[in-house]
Every structure is written in structure tokens, then in C-alpha cells.
Amino acid sequence: MLVWQPSFAKEALTTQYSQSELLKNWALSHCLALVYKDDVVKNDARATASAYLEYGKQSVEIYHEIDEIAKKYSGLKYNGSISSDFNTMKCIDFIHDSELNELIERRVEK
């Protein structure tokens, strides 16, 4: 017997993230907004970045510094066995970047 479970909207976990996690989430969302040209994806990534910014308690300067690192990654050219821009991969690599992580560790206000 199949039982249908209705789908309910779930509250985002945004309020449960640490300030460091909020910055990394903002960084990923911002990077996705930079690399994708499709308006639906770009607008969703921008809205997501805005939400993380809203919950963050960091100075605007750190967001500018993160943006500079994100721009480096968004301009990279990746190659693979299939033809792709690998934009998502660029952003995943970006959030694991030592420069980004050191910046967040050094500058985050708890």
C-alpha cells in the first residue's frame, strides 16, 4: 500500500548556522550568481546570497574581499573529458580555497 505524504514548506536552517558558515554559504551562493548566465539560476543564487547576508553580522568589507576571490574562480577555465564550463565545480573549489578559509577564520566576528 502506498501512502501519500503531503509536502510542507520547511523552515531554512539559516538561523542555526555559525557566522563562519553563513559567510561560506554566502560565498557559494555569490559565486553561483557570478558564473551562471541563466536568469532563473542567477536570480535564485542572488536571493540566496541576500538571505545569508541578512543573517550575517560581518562588516561589508569582508564580503568585498570574498567577492574578489570569487571573481578569480569564476574566470577560471576548466577542462574535462566532457565539454562543459564546469561552473559549479569552480564554485565548489572556491569554497574550499585556503585563501577564502583563512580570510573567514581571521576576520569572522563571532
Report in angstroms the alpha-carbon separations of 25 from 32, 46, 89, 98. Answer: 11, 12, 15, 16
**Per the structure block, which three cell numbers stand in for 28?**
557559494
Q: From CA 14, how far away is CA 22, in angstroms rounded?
A: 8
Residue 60 belongs to domain with CATH number: 1.20.120.1620
pLDDT tier at 1, thresholds 50, 70, 90: low
Does 35 fall in a domain?
Answer: yes
pLDDT at 48: 97
Q: Which domain holds residue 97?
A: 17-107
pTM above 0.75, yes or no: yes
Number of domains the chain contains: 1
Does 11 fall in a domain?
Answer: no
Are 99 and 60 a contacting pair, CB within 8 Å? no
Does 5 fall in a domain?
Answer: no
pLDDT tens digits for range 17-34: 999 999 999 999 999 999
pLDDT tens digits for range 52-105: 999 999 999 999 999 999 999 999 999 999 999 999 999 999 999 999 999 999
- 32: CB partners within 8 A, 6+ apart: 41, 42, 45, 48, 87, 88, 91
DSSP 23-47: HHHHHHHHHHHHH---HHHHHHHHH
Q: How many CB atoms are located within 10 Å of the residue 45 CB? A: 21
